[in-house]
Structure 1
Amino acid sequence: MSTAVSSPLYAAIDLGSNSFHMLIVRHIDGSVQTMAKIKRKVRLANGLDIKNQLSQDAMQRGWDCLHLFAERLQDIPAENIRIVGTAALRSALNVDVFLQKANQILGHSIEIISGEEEAATIYKGVAHTSGGLGRRLVVDIGGASTELIIGQEFETQALISLSMGCVTWLDNYFHDRQLTQYNFDNAINAAKITLAPILEKYTQLGWDVCVGASGTVQALQEIMLAQGMDEVITLAKLKRLQKQAMLASHLEELEIDGLTLERALVFPSGLSILIAIFESLNIESMTLAGGALREGLAYEMISEMRQSDIRQRTINSVQKRYQVDVIYANQVAKTALQLFQQCNQESWVNEFQASYLLQSAAELHEIGLSIDFKKGGDHGAYLIQHLDLPGFTRSQKYLLAEWIRRYREQLSSLPEQHALSSQSSKRLLRILRLAVLLTHRRHIDLQPLAKLHADEDVLTLSINQKWLKSNPLTQAELELEANRQTDIGWPLIINLI
């Protein structure tokens, strides 16, 4: 009788200036699966006095939290545990007093990492969990420090940790709890002064995408989605939220749709720092990263995960988990991309991420069949929306789900989404459906040669008449598909050659 062996667990603990976090994951089927996330507000930075001495109360809050964490660490191999302290513990002159007892409580040593090492590890967490082509700028606003990193794939090109954070800025610029223009201006200007020394270097390097990896950015995204906005953060939206915050005279009265009570206290200070970063670096837009410091610590411990194509790693893992026919999925993806290239004049679909989103949908379109055939599209859509998919943003997951919901048979217009323009998302769905129909015999040698031409929203599919005559089911399905697309205002013409 065989005995099942469970996948190994890993624990990454981040003793931050505002909160202590523990992330527990397991490595399975080529992916990292989150098993637990534990967070406690400890507010270490609040316990630092003007001489950088941690108060007894602050240390006690930290020790109380670590007693909770220690229980879970008992079940994890020592070599799979990494515990780091950041800005507040870096600054505390009496840190040894805290560490001596903390190490005893945990049964493991805490490592106080430098600002540069923190920035580098944050970047690894982002690189392992977030998509985006080209060079990326990563911003992480913590309780007592802010990290800014420029890198490409897994390599950093510039990194720095600045001494400003949402807790220290709260104490320095909102200490009277007044949400006035005066306080906001002071907080923003102070952040700009802190940023000034790095502006020339970072501006010269430049970046293609910008991602935020902090609780501040996560809170902002939750607010924007709750208020009906898309997930992309812009300066205009930040200014709008500043105006909403200033409607409350006192911090304790702050109420914004989508803002949790837990984040409310440090929200104005974090918002001020982010506004300063946007204005100083002329950032056009920012999205939320899939991970940061804790994820970077976890992935560093798992040597098998050190590869550069995050999205493909995610696709491969999901295909394996849901028993997708990979050979056929690749056939559909190849066909879809060929059709896309045939009709993709410069202005037809011009978003750079369009091709990899189409390819991803093709590679995953049958995952719902692992549950049931009849509603395979709906099951697939549910899975895509609720799975953790490193490398894809929330809006991209939503679009993939809605495409997969409609990959065969019944066709309806797509709902509003923010991953691509509505026109592009519609056009790529049409290509996905055609690719599935043309490959339905599930073998490359049994697939017809077809040519797709696009004239705005009018698609013409040219296909060999002799081949169709010997494949009457495909002919009937293509004719039905032409009627379905045309009936909802997407003209499709089948041209026999």
Structure 2
Amino acid sequence: MAEKPSHNQPLYAVIDLGSNSFHMMISRLVADSVQVVDKVKRKVRLASGLNEQGELDSKSMARGWECLSFFAERLQDIPAENIQIVATATLRIAKNAKTFLERAEQILGHKITVISGDEEAKLIYLGVAHTTISQNNRLVIDIGGASTELIVGQGFDPQLMQSLDMGCVTFNQQFFPENIYSEAAFKAANAQAKKVLTPFEHAYRDANWESALGVSGTLQAIMEVLTAQGRLPIINLVKLQELKQQVLACGNLNSLDITGLVNERKPVFASGLAILIALFENLKIDELQLAGGAIREGLLYELLPNMRNVNIRMRTLNGLMARFNIDERQAYRVADIADQACQQLLSTWQFAQHYRSILQSACVLHEIGLQLEYKGNKQHAVYILQHADLAGFSTPERLLLCALVGNYKTDVDVTLLNRQTFAPLWSACQLLAILRLSVILSKRRKDDVMPEFSITGVDKTLKLTLPDAWLKQHPLVSAELKQEIIDIAKLDIELSIIRI
């Protein structure tokens, strides 16, 4: 019988009582990387229970209490110091919030902190900062049930924050009360969103942000629809207007049938879409990507020890190497060869540092699929990377990573390269060529038999020079290089092997 571990890794729980949904996330640390072990989400729609007097009705409170009774079962095994529970917009404004909170704290057995709009915005931004790598100023947008948060910041420092009184639940009640979708309703919702935004729009336009990221259920739903419809996973105003036309064509909630839109998001999809269109128009947003974290991740990472001092991407790579038993020495051996090749090719095959960073990550993770089986390991690797929590990697970066790791040897699947949008196709082909040659040259998996090599690239030709004696001592590697001349031609690269 297997020996039981001497101790369990501590669990951490964060709960967000939002205006639309209640969320609980339970995690643990694995090699400085966060591993989510459980998530519970319920569409409580607390904001829909606010009456004209600003009080929560009994039905919405009952839905909330019932949900918290589910959460309480999981919390009983987690140390109190490892638990954080916050409430947001609806419980900030409800006049009878105290009644709800007293009963809620009895159910959970823990204190609930009602956070201000600025505190909510800060936590949302920190959730993004801990999970999405960026050296530039960025605009973060979170469309919640009763409020919308806008934050501009850099690194872990939020510099401009605002919580606006508009959300997908409250706007749905106000502008789509009968769940009828008309041009007039969209126009009214758009106008109100712009009215709320107007006092702050110049400050946000002048904040010099260079990229826009979104983090809410609304943004997630839009991204899922775009993906299901075969569109690139980047949101722009043209795509939003097209989605609006799809909603209008359906006419009402009962007939709302849009490819990729799940049932639980349907009731507030139109209202969230109207708010987002207004934000794009008034803030002059060109495109927006989905970020990896939000308020719960902000709570969690600030709860965990020393997380600001760990490089986000390295934390993810270390966690994946531990989880999937990747040979760390071999991973970095391949990465070292790739780095040498990049240095030698720098003057002719010029590609940006952020592309090289993804190449290094691909080198580290190229054998991740071997944990499942050798046969089909490339396909397994792509599946893992498509579905794993990859903090520090945007969606376009993830797709490039999948394209490289899914093609690290043998046959080339060009469709993976075409599917990614992070790098131009030719740059992706260059990166892949370097990865594939680095894997072949490290075939012996030993440092003391690594060859001295030189590599040059001009336009679409690539010349790899190796010692003749070394090639004779490694006939298998030599044979694989000959085959690589054929395989790499699919990338429109003419490879030649020079013996000296």
Normalising by structure 2, report the TM-score. 0.93
How far is 1:474 from its partner?
3.5
Q: For 1:254 and 1:345, how far apart are their aligned partners in 2?
A: 54
Cα deviation code 1:198-249 (max 9, x no counterpart): 2222222222321110000000011001111011111111011011111122
Amino acid of the residue matched to residue 370 of structure 1? Answer: Q
1:459 and 2:453 correspond? no
Matches within 5 A, 1:274-289: 274-289=276-291
Amino acid of the residue matched to residue 384 of structure 2? Answer: L
1:474 and 2:484 correspond? no
SS of corresponding position for 1:437: helix
How far is 1:2 from its partner?
6.0
Matches within 5 A, 1:250-399: 250-344=252-346, 350=351, 353-399=354-400
- 1:221 is matched with 223
- 1:432 is matched with 435
- 2:115 is matched with 113
- 2:207 is matched with 205
Amino acid of the residue matched to residue 361 of structure 1? Answer: A
Q: For 2:129 and 2:451, how far apart are their aligned partners in 1?
A: 40
CA contact (8 A) 1:132 1:209 kept: no
How far is 1:455 from its partner?
2.6
Identify if the C-alpha distance between structure 1 residues 383 and 43 changes in structure 2 by more than 3 Å, giving closer, same or farther: closer
How far is 1:429 from its partner?
1.0
Q: For 2:268 and 2:121, how far apart are their aligned partners in 1?
A: 21
- 2:16 is matched with 14
SS of corresponding position for 2:219: helix
SS of corresponding position for 1:298: helix
Which of residues 245, 248, 271 in structure 2 aligns to 1:246?
248
Matches within 5 A, 1:19-34: 19-34=21-36
Q: For 2:70 and 2:365, how far apart are their aligned partners in 1?
A: 40
Q: For 1:338 and 1:283, how far apart are their aligned partners in 2?
A: 39
Moved more, 114-123 or 189-198: 189-198
Moved more, 176-185 or 267-276: 176-185
How far is 1:24 from its partner?
1.5
Normalising by structure 1, report the TM-score. 0.93
How far is 1:396 from its partner?
3.2
How far is 1:258 from its partner?
0.9
Amino acid of the residue matched to residue 260 of structure 2? Answer: G
How far is 1:361 from its partner?
0.3
Amino acid of the residue matched to residue 428 of structure 1? Answer: L
SS of corresponding position for 1:266: helix
* RMSD between aligned residues: 2.2
Q: For 2:429 and 2:489, how far apart are their aligned partners in 1?
A: 13
Q: For 2:20 and 2:285, how far apart are their aligned partners in 1?
A: 26
How far is 1:467 from its partner?
4.5
Amino acid of the residue matched to residue 191 of structure 2? Answer: N
Q: For 1:492 and 1:393, how far apart are their aligned partners in 2?
A: 32
CA contact (8 A) 1:135 1:208 kept: yes
Q: For 2:258 and 2:479, how far apart are their aligned partners in 1?
A: 55
1:441 and 2:405 correspond? no
Which of residues 64, 68, 71 in structure 1 aligns to 2:70?
68
CA contact (8 A) 2:412 2:490 kept: no
How far is 1:289 from its partner?
1.4
How far is 1:352 from its partner?
5.5
Cα deviation code 1:336-366 (max 9, x no counterpart): 13323433458x5656631111010001112
How far is 1:368 from its partner?
2.7
Identify if the C-alpha distance between structure 1 residues 344 and 275 changes in structure 2 by more than 3 Å, giving closer, same or farther: farther
- 2:158 is matched with 156
Q: For 2:258 and 2:352, how far apart are their aligned partners in 1?
A: 33
CA contact (8 A) 1:336 1:431 kept: yes
Moved more, 19-28 or 84-93: 19-28
Q: For 2:229 and 2:318, how far apart are their aligned partners in 1?
A: 35
Moved more, 91-100 or 331-340: 331-340
Matches within 5 A, 1:171-210: 171-210=173-212
Cα deviation code 1:30-85 (max 9, x no counterpart): 22111222112222212222332222222222112212221111111111111111
Cα deviation code 1:272-317 (max 9, x no counterpart): 1111111111112111111211121122211143335211110011
SS of corresponding position for 1:12: strand
Q: For 1:49 and 1:222, how far apart are their aligned partners in 2?
A: 33
Moved more, 463-472 or 285-294: 463-472
Q: For 1:283 and 1:197, how far apart are their aligned partners in 2?
A: 17
Moved more, 382-391 or 287-296: 382-391
SS of corresponding position for 2:419: coil
Runs of at least 5 residues in structure 1 that lack an aligned partner in the other structure: none
CA contact (8 A) 1:87 1:115 kept: yes
SS of corresponding position for 1:353: helix
Percentage of identical aligned residues:
45
How far is 1:3 from its partner?
4.6
Identify if the C-alpha distance between structure 1 residues 470 and 128 changes in structure 2 by more than 3 Å, giving closer, same or farther: same
How far is 1:18 from its partner?
1.2
Identify if the C-alpha distance between structure 1 residues 439 and 261 changes in structure 2 by more than 3 Å, giving closer, same or farther: same
Cα deviation code 1:142-200 (max 9, x no counterpart): 00001111122222111111111111111222224332222112211221222222222
CA contact (8 A) 1:12 1:82 kept: yes
How far is 1:7 from its partner?
1.5
- 1:52 is matched with 54
CA contact (8 A) 1:323 1:370 kept: yes
SS of corresponding position for 1:42: coil
Q: For 2:83 and 2:312, how far apart are their aligned partners in 1?
A: 23
- 2:93 is matched with 91
Q: How many residues align?
A: 496
How far is 1:134 from its partner?
2.0
CA contact (8 A) 1:381 1:405 kept: yes
Moved more, 158-167 or 456-465: 456-465
Identify if the C-alpha distance between structure 1 residues 468 and 186 changes in structure 2 by more than 3 Å, giving closer, same or farther: same
1:417 and 2:414 correspond? no
SS of corresponding position for 1:124: helix
Identify if the C-alpha distance between structure 1 residues 372 and 193 changes in structure 2 by more than 3 Å, giving closer, same or farther: same
